[in-house]
Amino acid sequence: MQPFTTLSAIAAPLPMANVDTDKIIPARFLKTIARTGLGKHLFAALRYDEAGAERGDFVLNREPWRHAGILIAHENFGCGSSREHAPWALLDFGIRCVIAPDFADIFFNNCFKNGILPIALPRAVCDALMEDARLGANARLTVDLARQVVVRPNGEEIGFAVDPFRKHLLLNGLDDIGQTLEHQAAIDAFEAARSGAVTVPPLPQP
């Protein structure tokens, strides 16, 4: 998993509440277990019309927001079914941080497992950041995880809370497998001791 330290990126405003996981990645695209290739299906119902053509009025189909690395939304982002494909699709599109007033619990947890930082900030602050985001490429936001601040284009710093253990995992790029591999030496020592302690009785003679 790629470490998350400091992200300076274009932010896309998505002024919608209750964005569920089916809206993030529709169920018909869940047949794969690969984490790549889902970005083109992100927000498919919002991005494409019935013929599969891009909707010109959707923010992620417009310059410069089609290159966004940060997404700003309203309340209850990621509600609905507990599909891990939702953060996979966001990450494959290029979004590594989602800012909203609050998140659905399972989606929130899945973000950390996949290298995405979900930041909960008050609605008024999210609205102010959306106004910044609407300015486009000349108004990038910076997210500094080590210092736990979002830096607006005007230099104002907005603090955010994050669980210390989850912060450690993101800063060091550790998913569940990475956490296990941190204990590789102890695992190897245990396995070696266990192998040495097991004796195989001889086969009975005919």
Kindly report, residue by residue over 139-162, the tens digit of the pLDDT: 899 999 999 999 999 999 999 999
Which range among 14-18, 77-81, 175-179 shows the weakest confidence by mean pLDDT?
175-179
The whole-number pLDDT of residue 189 equals 72
Residue boundaries of the structural domains of the chain = 8-140
| Rounded Cα–Cα distance for residues 13 and 31 (Å) | 29
Cα distances (angstroms) measured from residue 23 to each of 47, 81, 89, 112: 10, 11, 11, 20
Query: Regarding the domain delimited by 8-140, which CATH topology (the fold level of the hierarchy) does it fall under?
Result: Aconitase; domain 4 (3.20.19)
DSSP state of 116: -
Quote the radius of gyration of the chain (alpha carbons, Å): 21
| Rounded Cα–Cα distance for residues 54 and 44 (Å) | 9
The whole-number pLDDT of residue 22 equals 95
Q: What pTM does this model have?
A: 0.87
The whole-number pLDDT of residue 110 equals 95
Residue 200 has pLDDT above 70, yes or no: no
